[in-house]
Amino acid sequence: MDFFVNWVSVVPQFAVPFALATLGLIICERSGVLNLGAEGFMLVGAMIGAGATLVTGSPHLSLVLAALSAGTLSLLFGFLVITLRVNQVISGLTMVFFAQGFTTLVSTKMNWTNKAFEGIGKIDFGPLADIPLVGRLLFDQDIVVYITILIFIVVAFAFERTEQGLRIRAVGENPEAADAAGVSVVMNRYFAVFIGCMLVGLAGAYMSVVVSKIWVDGMSGGRGWIAIALVIFARWRFWPALAGAALFGCVEALIPRIAAVGLQVPQYFVLMLPYVATLTVMVWASLGKNSSGAPGALGKPFVREERN
């Protein structure tokens, strides 16, 4: 029982990076932009988050700065795929490659690598955390966990219940129709990519600033890719994405615990677990309903004057 409580109570901090990254990617992709650069934007967020904490001393401000820097980099990505209509797969991969080089270079030059810092701690709810079973899960978390839930609510509301959400959805489903209705495809896609990548960057920053409290080269460790798979698993919807993130939080939280309980599984096979789980989840998603739920114009660049 203790094993279970201990396990579940750390799930949120493993789930938050997945949740934020997946949410960010859904925003991008619902506008029609396939973002394979997630891993790169996470790295940038994580590196800037750690660096800014070391420089400014304020981890909270650093989270914001990290999100903004990922957003800034996303403008380059947006310029490639939205304005220049470069292949979105290649552009995304290039962004990952670029970000890997960039983060390693900057952090080495600035001497930020492998330097531990204070980070953000958990909120003290006092006795509430002692409630049996769920006390620690609900009341022994850091502030970002709660903010994440809030962000989900805000984004879901904005998508379904506001003009801007309607426009982004329209641009992702049928840019020709949106364009004919006077909605700017380019501006809305830039907007979605910017906001989405900010969230992906925030996911990365959470990992360095809140969870590990240190920056290590390549520390996102494939979570960006898993988030891309989670988008497919969630069929581009918000709440299933949160559930998927929680699921993967469970899987990741399990890894250090497997050895602890004395299960004799080779270490590196345990480390494969998230990737195997992702693959399984993708297969499972493909077995489901007929329609994948993908936005109609996902991955397709738009130009108004294409002659048919």
Partner 1 sequence: MVESTVKNQRNLFQRFNLEVRDHMLAWQQAVLIFGGLLLGLFLSALMLVVAGVGVSDLLNEFIISIFTSSRNINAVLLLSAPLVIVGLSAAIGFKARFWNIGIEGQVIFGAIGATLIANYDIGPDGFRVLLMGLVAALFGMAWIALPMVLRLKLQVNEIISTLLLNYIAFNFLLHLLFGSWKDPITSFPNSKIYDQFERLPKLAGLDFNVSILLALALVIIFVWVLAVSRFGFVLKFVYSNSKMAKSIGINVGVLVACAALASGALSGIAGFTISASIDSRLTQSFFVGYGFLGILIGFLARNNPLLVVLFSVMMAILMVAGQTLQVFYQIPFSMIQLIQATIVICVAASEFFIHHRIRLVK
Partner 2 sequence: MPPTSVVGQLDPAVKNTAGFVLELRNIVKTFGTFTALDDVNFNLKRGEVHALLGENGAGKSTLMNIVCGLYAADSGERLHEGEPVWISNPREAHALGIGMVHQHYKLVKPFSALENIQLENGSGPYRTSLNRIRQKATEISKIIGFEVDLDLPVEQLSISEQQRVEILKILTADARIIILDEPTAVLTDMEAENMFTAMRSLAATGCSVVFVTHKLREAFSFADRITVMRGGKTINTVLPNQLDVTELTTLIVGETVVESVNRSKNIGDPKITLNEISMKRNNGVNAITDLSFQVRSGEIYGIAGIGGNGQNELVAILSGLRKIDTGSIELNDVGRVENATPIELRDLGIVCIHSDRETYGLAYGLNIAENFSISGVLAGEFGSYIKVKHKLIHEATELAIEAYDVRGVRTLNQKAGLLSGGNAQKLVIAREFSREPSIVVAHSPCRGLDVRASSAVHEYLLKARDRGGAVVLISEDLDEILLMSDRIGVMSGGAIVAEFDAPANRNEIGKSMTGHG
Q: Which residues bind partner 2 (CB under 8 A)?
A: 161-163, 166-167, 169-170, 173-174, 176-183, 290, 296, 304-305, 307-308
Q: Which residues pair with 306 in a beta bridge?
A: none
Cα–Cα distance, 16 to 68 (Å, whole number) = 18
Residues 197-256 that bind partner 1 (CB under 8 A): 222, 225-226, 228-229, 232
Number of residues that bind partner 1 (CB under 8 A): 49
Query: At its nearest, how many Å lie between partner 1 and the CB of residue 227?
Result: 10
The reply to whether 305 sits near partner 1 by the rule CB under 8 A is yes
The reply to whether 35 sits near partner 1 by the rule CB under 8 A is no
**CB closer to partner 1, 72 vs 100:** 100
Helices (H), 111-237: 135-139, 143-161, 163-173, 175-180, 185-205, 223-233
* Contact indicator for 18, 202 with CB cutoff of 8 Å: no
Cα–Cα distance, 277 to 230 (Å, whole number) = 11
**CB closer to partner 1, 262 vs 308:** 308
The reply to whether 85 sits near partner 1 by the rule CB under 8 A is yes
Query: At its nearest, how many Å lie between partner 1 and the CB of residue 62?
Result: 22
Segment contacting partner 1 by CB under 8 A, of 52-60, 127-135, 237-245, 275-283: 275-283
Closest C-alpha to 112, from 65, 52, 45: 52
Q: Give me the phi and psi of 33, to 5 degrees please.
A: -105, 115
Residue with tokens 């006092």: 126
DSSP 96-107: HHHHHHHHHHHH
Instruction: Give which of partner 2, partner 1, none residue 177 binds (C-beta under 5 to 8 Å, depending on kind).
Output: partner 2
Instruction: Give which of partner 2, partner 1, none residue 265 binds (C-beta under 5 to 8 Å, depending on kind).
Output: none
DSSP 250-297: HHHHHHHHHHHTT----HHHHHHHHHHHHHHHHHHHHHS-S-----TT
Instruction: Give which of partner 1, partner 2, none residue 90 binds (C-beta under 5 to 8 Å, depending on kind).
Output: partner 1
Q: What angle do CA 193, 69, 213 make, to 5 degrees?
A: 120
Report the SS3 class of residue 118: coil
The reply to whether 304 sits near partner 1 by the rule CB under 8 A is yes
Instruction: Give which of partner 2, partner 1, none residue 179 binds (C-beta under 5 to 8 Å, depending on kind).
Output: partner 2
Interacting residue ranges for partner 1, rule: CB under 8 A: 36, 76, 80, 84-87, 89-91, 93-94, 96-98, 100-105, 108-109, 222, 225-226, 228-229, 232, 266-269, 271-272, 275-276, 278-279, 282-283, 286-287, 292, 303-307
